[in-house]
Amino acid sequence: MVRISSFGVGGKHKSTKFALYCVGLFGLALLVDLLWASSNSSPSIYQSIVSQENVVFPSFAQIKEEDKKKKDGIDKKRVLADNFADLDAPVLNWEKMANAPVPRLDGAAIQIKDQLFVFAGYGTIDYVHSHVDIYNFTDNTWGGRFDMPKEMAHSHLGMVTDGRYIYIVTGQYGPQCRGPTAQTFTLDTVTKKWRDLPPLPVPRYAPATQLWRGRLHVMGGSRENRHTPGTEHWSIAVKDGKALEKEWRSEIPIPRGGPHRACIVYNDRLYVIGGQEGDFMAKPGSPIFKCSRRNEIVFGDVYMLDDDMKWTSLPPMPKPDSHIEFAWAFVNKNSVVIVGGTTEKHPETKKMTLIGEIFHFEFDTQKWSVIGKLPYRVKTTLVGFWKGWLYFTSGQRDKGPEDPSPRKVLGETWRTKLEL
């Protein structure tokens, strides 16, 4: 869904005509281009020079639906500044722990008991990791490094565990904004043995991934060009790290596609939270697949898949939030916290905006709250919860308290005592 308000157009015109909308959008796009070009004098990782082709035109059908929604009053007017700004949040006491062996952006992590298995990720935009590091929450040390299979993607992985086996689905192969692979694997975390699973029917970037009712579910993500949201949903029966079927089967598509969402099973229901439509993509013709920025729409939607295999919309997050696929943890039996992420771009500078809050969602009441501040805003951080301590490690942090745009890729590890 394209939100007209995110372009600053249409807010004052209740019945925008299509042609007018397009002209306005195009003009604004050029302006935005200029702003980006002039504001990005020192582009950091993932913030590269923007070219003319960075604007995605919404389809006519999308606009019509948007208009309809507005008339129906469903699309509550959102004030850009509200989503961009930090939210009031309690201050927490943070303790700095041992740094991860390497810094990581877009890494992946899975907690099994007192261990956090941390996979892959970018070290820099031109270098990706192809190994696993393990953090032990009992003695608070890093160790246990071992290699990933050579064919496994290095970022934008879908990943989930049954408590012993980790299922690792598709993702981006290589640095910058390279193409994806459909290759899919399992890891036995006891023996450290890898195994192949049938490849996903087509590759995806950062699809929502979960185990549900004996099946590995994979949905959404970005399509093969890294930018276009996919809405397809597949599943395959699995047990003990092996596929019980030869092929993936198609399931009900997700209402809204796109990458970088939290995907959680609670009380036999499957939830998909936050994410975005659109992402950086390779500059056409670039031999190194240089990342170039495209329009992104971050959202805070929450969808639940129930017994009848029907999607239901639940109350949205306190603000749009993306890059949170490995930034969540259960803190007690019936609630999760989501740590940091990215939200809507800055309304004036158009720079990517990071989140420095922790959100809490109670499944039974379906209530969201903001429960604390992080030491800094951070995206694609990797989260675990052990014996009352909330941990986060790695990711990309902000430029400083006054500037929420992304800068340094980190290996820092922090924890705070959390009582909810």
The 3-state secondary structure of the chain, one letter per residue: CCCHHHHCCCCCCCCCCHHHHHHHHHHHHHHHHHHHHHHCCCCCCCCCCCCHHHCCCCCHHHHHHHHHHHHHCCCCCCCHHHHHCCCCCCCCCCEECCCCCCCCECCEEEEECCEEEEECCEEECCEECCEEEEEECCCCEEEEEEECCCCCCCECCEEEECCCEEEEEEEECCCCCCCEEEEEEEEECCCCEEEEECCCCCCCECCEEEEECCEEEEECEECCCCCCECCCEEEEEEECCEECCCCCEECCCCCCCECCCEEEEECCEEEEECCEECCCEECCCCCCCCEECCCCEECCCEEEECCCCCEEEECCCCCCCECCCCCEEEEECCEEEEEEEEECCCCCCCCCEEEEEEEEEECCCCEEEEEEECCCCEECCEEEEECCEEEEEEEEEEEECCEEEEEEEEEEEEEEECCC
The CB-of-210 to ligand NAG minimum distance in angstroms stands at 24
Q: Which is nearer to ligand NAG, 51 or 136 (CB)?
A: 136
Member of 44, 115, 228, 349 binding ligand NAG (CB under 6 A): 115
Member of 124, 138, 286, 312 binding ligand NAG (CB under 6 A): 138
Member of 139, 268, 307, 419 binding ligand NAG (CB under 6 A): 139
The CB-of-185 to ligand NAG minimum distance in angstroms stands at 21
The CB-of-75 to ligand NAG minimum distance in angstroms stands at 48
Q: Which is nearer to ligand NAG, 99 or 136 (CB)?
A: 136
| Stretch in the footprint of ligand NAG (CB under 6 A) among 55-63, 132-140, 165-173, 290-298 | 132-140
Applying CB under 6 A, the site for ligand NAG has a residue count of: 5
Q: Which is nearer to ligand NAG, 266 or 389 (CB)?
A: 389
Q: Is 224 in the site for ligand NAG (CB under 6 A)?
A: no
Member of 114, 224, 251, 362 binding ligand NAG (CB under 6 A): 114
Q: Which is nearer to ligand NAG, 110 or 243 (CB)?
A: 110
| Stretch in the footprint of ligand NAG (CB under 6 A) among 135-143, 156-164, 241-249, 380-388 | 135-143
Q: Which is nearer to ligand NAG, 45 or 134 (CB)?
A: 134
The CB-of-189 to ligand NAG minimum distance in angstroms stands at 9
Q: Under the rule (CB under 6 A), what is the footprint of ligand NAG?
A: 114-115, 136, 138-139
